[in-house]
Amino acid sequence: MFNREIYNKSLAAACAGADGYLKGRRVLITGATGLIGSFLVEALAWLNENAGADIEIYAAGRGEAGVRGRFEALADRPYFHYVAYDATRPVSFDFEADVVVHAATSAHPLAYATDPVGIMQANLFGTARLLEYLRGQGHGRFLLLSTGEVYGENPDLPEGFSEPDHGWIDPMLPRACYPESKRAAETLCASYAAQYGVDALVARLCHVYGPTFTPSNSRADAQFIRKALAGEDIVMKSAGSQVRSFCYVADAVNALVTLLAKGERGQAYNVANRHSVASIREYAEALADIAGVKVVFDFPPEVERAGYTKVTRAVLNPAKLEGLGWTPRFDLRAGLEATYGCCK
């Protein structure tokens, strides 16, 4: 079951404050079936249906059946287009995009543990080819969805990481495939902006959650939600002491819309909610309370642990994004209630 009324309220929140930048534009979204990409597609469709935005939406993914199945309700809309896309292969689009939101990535622990080479290749080559595509057409804004993991570990920043800050990552750990390739992808954006004038910028996302999580998502928060929806106890595979910035997907997508309209070329912006900083255990306990289940502990096998991040504190300071006028609407409790309510 899926509660469209609750979901539509979240879509409306994601579009709040949109100042018309996207009106009439052709927007290409890679990773269109992912947690963030799919919500963005539907938010843009909401703008078309409710605000006359006249946005041409190009939803890019590796399989047409999967993309069209995910957006079955949009299949007959003249503004919705499927685009074949594989981040590991050269691009050959037959249209010019005004905006490219690059959300294609495998951002979950099982992929990090089993295919670190594929993760790196997709993040590096995919970003480079899309930037080259925009450079070739001579116009268009590029927004890379990066990650707060690029900061690595540095627990001595009580206010969280700001954009100029740095932590440490061990590049010889295969688990570093994700943050290190995202770091390099960010540098590609900055380099294309400086050398070729490509209008590229970066969104450094914290831990985004919501009802659009995919079946393949093996992150802890997605596993927690699956358990809660099944009426089963939430299983934690660590003590849950790691502290994270969390952000409900509607707030995250609203941040992306804000960055497309107001973000500065060649810059990176943290996307995080300062009112949703919690330990993983606190996140699990809040969700368990909403669902009426318990939290239990079961420590995982080595192959699963290999995909876990070693970072103990991943808190992002969103002041730079807030300076553009962005304000989140969902604290952790409200975001989890919306997530659970949509899916229950």
Question: What digits encode the pLDDT tens for the residues 191-207?
Answer: 999 999 999 999 999 99
Please report the pLDDT score of residue 18 as a whole number: 79
Q: What residue type is 104 in one-letter code?
A: A
- Kind of pairing, strands 243-248 and 234-236? unpaired
pLDDT tens digits, one per residue of 9-38: 999 999 998 779 999 999 999 999 999 999
Range of the domain at 66: 4-212+247-274+316-329
3-state secondary structure (DSSP) of residue 207: strand
Average pLDDT, stretch 219-236? 91
Residue 103 lies in a domain: yes
Does the structure show a pLDDT above 70 at 307? no
Contacts of 118 (CB under 8 A, 6+ apart): 88, 106, 111
SS3 content of the chain, % helix, strand, coil (to 5): 45, 20, 40
Please report the pLDDT score of residue 308 as a whole number: 56
Q: Round the average pLDDT of the chain to a whole number and report it.
A: 92
Residue 284 lies in a domain: no
Counting the structural domains of the chain, the total is: 1
Residue 303 lies in a domain: no
Residue 223 lies in a domain: no
Residue 149 lies in a domain: yes
Residue 172 lies in a domain: yes
| CB < 8 Å & 24+ apart, contacts of 47-50 | 47/15, 47/18, 47/22, 48/77, 48/79, 50/12, 50/15
Average pLDDT, stretch 314-325? 96
> Measuring CA to CA, how many Å separate 302 from each of 104, 111, 251, 299, 332?
27, 14, 35, 10, 31
Residue 307 lies in a domain: no
Residue 51 lies in a domain: yes
Please report the pLDDT score of residue 196 as a whole number: 98
* pTM for the predicted model, two decimal places: 0.94
Average pLDDT, stretch 307-336? 89
CATH code for position 67: 3.40.50.720
Please report the pLDDT score of residue 326 as a whole number: 97
pLDDT tens digits, one per residue of 168-187: 899 999 999 999 999 999 99
